[in-house]
Structure 1
Amino acid sequence: MIDPNRLQMLRAVEHHGTISEVARVMHLTPSAVSQQIRQLASEVGTTLLEREGRSIRLTPAAYTLLAYSHSVAAAWEDVRAELDVLASGEQLSGHLSLGSFATAIPSLVASAAVTLTTRRTGVTVSVREADTAESLTLLLHRTIDLAVVAAPVDHPLDDPRFDQHTLLDDPQDLVVAADSELATCGVDRLLDVSRERWVEPHHDQRRLIESACAMEGFVPHFEHQTNDWNSALALVAGGMGVCLYPRMAPINTAGVRRITLSGPNLPVRRVLTFVRAGSVRQPLISTYLRLLEQVVRQR
């Protein structure tokens, strides 16, 4: 019988690319991760990792093993769904753990969570703020049950380990200082601010900005970096740079002007739900997904 924890280590190496990064995420030493992979290789009787210069790569045997393990994991989630349905009957109960990017929590995630716990007294929900990469890692580690993530529409997050569903497409507006020339000069498209300095609110949004600007034919110059939207908007209000801001999020910072862009390459991010493959029929997950869709329809 293959140790599932060691399979998880191999999946993590596939996902993160290096032993050191897996060790950092899992709060282990690199030697401990390497030892688990070696023991898994011994269990299956084949080499799973090989050196490529100073880095490592998975062998064909490792990819074959992972392909089967993904199928087994999805089948197990499906079995859990059947068992949960039998156990719960009409009485929905249990704990649901959610991960979400910051701006989706007040506008989508919290509303659906409150409705779920209000209607079902036997249900508890926990919410954890996390970016896209962290959310998917938390799903794989079974720390959360469902993730709400965002991605540029031209960069699909296809991964057979997850079932995903699109909630909505969220246009991005340009935000500039309210007392700046940009606020009154008739900016219509991103190309009009190609020479401006940019504020990076966090790395997920940076990727979206880079993708949107690339479609307009330029590379944005990021001069400021922060992991907090309020800080980013304060920098914009002070005339320190411009930024793209989600349409779904309100602006509570004074001194900022929101500009709706036009043109052929409008910046948009896609908001999706991710669950482990096979788990979408579990009663708590399927009920919460329906409530999320109701919130989106009411927006």
Structure 2
Amino acid sequence: MDVRRLELLLALSRLGSMRAVAETLRVTTSTVSQQIAALAHEVGTPLLEPDGRRVRLTPAGQRLAGHAVDIVAAVEAARADLDPSSKPAGTVRVAAFHTAIRDTVLPVVQRLVAAHPDVRLEIQEQEPPEALTLLERDQVDLAVSYDYNLAPANVDPGLEITRLWQATWGLGVPSRSGRTSGTTAEVAAAFADSDWIVNSRHSGDEQVVRTIASLAGFEPRITHRADSLPLVRDMIVAGLGVALLPTGGLKAPGISLRRLRDPVPMFRTYTLTRRGRGGWAPLALVQTLLEQQRRAPDAVSWT
């Protein structure tokens, strides 16, 4: 079977339409259609069936897409294994969110300059949705992303995940608020009538807010959205609402942090790479250095 055709089938299983596949992989829709038709002829069974004005994978197509995950990864691994480079050399493209770049990626840059000058990083600051899109399009080699234990990310089986560091989060409220303590549900219930502030570029903390609110039996009134933690703090001080904040973060005047327990919201960081790429020497080196650079929650600077 042609590996390129399998890659197109796998992309269709993930993206859901030929148009999306064509836009993501920068080919024409007719190319996608023709190549998948040729793959169906090659394997001797229909891989697509009509679904309104669109198409969807047949059961056979879904099974073949499942096999394609391993086949494509194996081909990538073989290419990496046959790389003639005797030592790591090359450019590794990284997409990561702000805090991870500052506290985890930049120290790796310094170590590379000192010990591995032939390996360099190209860094983009991106929130997880954008970083994952770049990784799926093969526009970056590694993404540093995050999720929460109360809102775990659904990781594509075509990607490999490696956990880095994690940190506890609590509820940031105006310091003039009445004192509250107890379980997560009990603390959340005390602010059931408040406006809530969530991230504008990532849905994870909104899912956590909705989860803890459901434990307390109310629907949160999500009014404001902001991407910057300093801005979120300013909004809390201004009395615009309450929000999840890292417990190891900056102790801002005008804000009280309510600890949450049973359950404790955990912010979890990890790296993502395309399956089969891990054997590429520069990427493997960067991955190793990132794992060594794991920081304890209280060592992360949330500014």
TM-score, length of structure 2 as denominator length: 0.80
User: Structure 2: how far apart are the matches of 1:95 and 1:116?
Assistant: 11
- What is the deviation of 1:197? 0.8
User: Structure 1: how far apart are the matches of 2:259 and 2:214?
Assistant: 16
User: Is 2:31 aligned against 1:41?
Assistant: no
| 1:173 alignment counterpart | 170
User: Is 2:94 aligned against 1:98?
Assistant: yes
| 1:225 alignment counterpart | 225
| 2:206 alignment counterpart | 206
- Structure 2 CA distance for partners of 1:275 and 1:214, relative to 1, 3 Å: farther
RMSD over aligned Cα atoms: 2.9
- Structure 2 CA distance for partners of 1:131 and 1:297, relative to 1, 3 Å: closer
- What is the deviation of 1:68? 2.8
| 2:257 alignment counterpart | 259
Superposed CA deviations along residues 6-55 of structure 1, whole A, max 9, x for unmatched, are 54444333223345555665677xxx33x233212321225443333466
- What is the deviation of 1:222? 0.7
- Structure 2 CA distance for partners of 1:244 and 1:220, relative to 1, 3 Å: same
| 1:271 alignment counterpart | 269
- What is the deviation of 1:176? 2.3
Q: 1:2, 1:40 within 8 Å by CA — same for their partners in 2?
A: no
User: Structure 2: how far apart are the matches of 1:55 and 1:228?
Assistant: 39
- Of 188, 191, 194, the residue aligned with 1:193 is 191
- What is the deviation of 1:61? 2.8
| 2:154 alignment counterpart | 157
Q: How does 1:284-295 map to 2 (within 5 A)?
A: 284-295=282-293
Q: Please tell me the residue identity of whatever aligns with 1:194.
A: A
Q: Please tell me the residue identity of whatever aligns with 1:170.
A: A
Superposed CA deviations along residues 119-142 of structure 1, whole A, max 9, x for unmatched, are 211111011223333323322322
Identity in percent: 26
- Structure 2 CA distance for partners of 1:201 and 1:169, relative to 1, 3 Å: same
Q: 1:215, 1:265 within 8 Å by CA — same for their partners in 2?
A: no
Q: Please tell me the residue identity of whatever aligns with 2:57.
A: L
- Structure 2 CA distance for partners of 1:242 and 1:94, relative to 1, 3 Å: same
User: Structure 1: how far apart are the matches of 2:197 and 2:111?
Assistant: 36
- Of 103, 127, 143, the residue aligned with 2:139 is 143
| 2:109 alignment counterpart | 113
- Structure 2 CA distance for partners of 1:241 and 1:38, relative to 1, 3 Å: same
Q: 1:41, 1:47 within 8 Å by CA — same for their partners in 2?
A: no
| 2:126 alignment counterpart | 130
- Structure 2 CA distance for partners of 1:185 and 1:136, relative to 1, 3 Å: same
User: Structure 1: how far apart are the matches of 2:268 and 2:285?
Assistant: 22
User: Structure 2: how far apart are the matches of 1:293 and 1:11?
Assistant: 29
- Structure 2 CA distance for partners of 1:13 and 1:42, relative to 1, 3 Å: closer
- Structure 2 CA distance for partners of 1:168 and 1:52, relative to 1, 3 Å: same
User: Structure 2: how far apart are the matches of 1:113 and 1:7?
Assistant: 36
In structure 2, list runs of 5 or more residues that go unmatched. Answer: none
User: Structure 2: how far apart are the matches of 1:242 and 1:95?
Assistant: 42
1:104 is paired with a residue of what secondary structure? helix
- Structure 2 CA distance for partners of 1:100 and 1:278, relative to 1, 3 Å: same
- Greater displacement, 254-263 / 68-77: 254-263
1:97 is paired with a residue of what secondary structure? strand
TM-score, length of structure 1 as denominator length: 0.81
| 1:11 alignment counterpart | 10
In structure 1, list runs of 5 or more residues that go unmatched. Answer: none
| 2:65 alignment counterpart | 66
Superposed CA deviations along residues 94-131 of structure 1, whole A, max 9, x for unmatched, are 11111112332212222223322332111110112233
Q: 1:2, 1:43 within 8 Å by CA — same for their partners in 2?
A: no
User: Structure 2: how far apart are the matches of 1:279 and 1:211?
Assistant: 36
User: Structure 2: how far apart are the matches of 1:258 and 1:106?
Assistant: 26
User: Structure 2: how far apart are the matches of 1:256 and 1:23?
Assistant: 51
Task: Give the number of aligned pairs.
Answer: 286
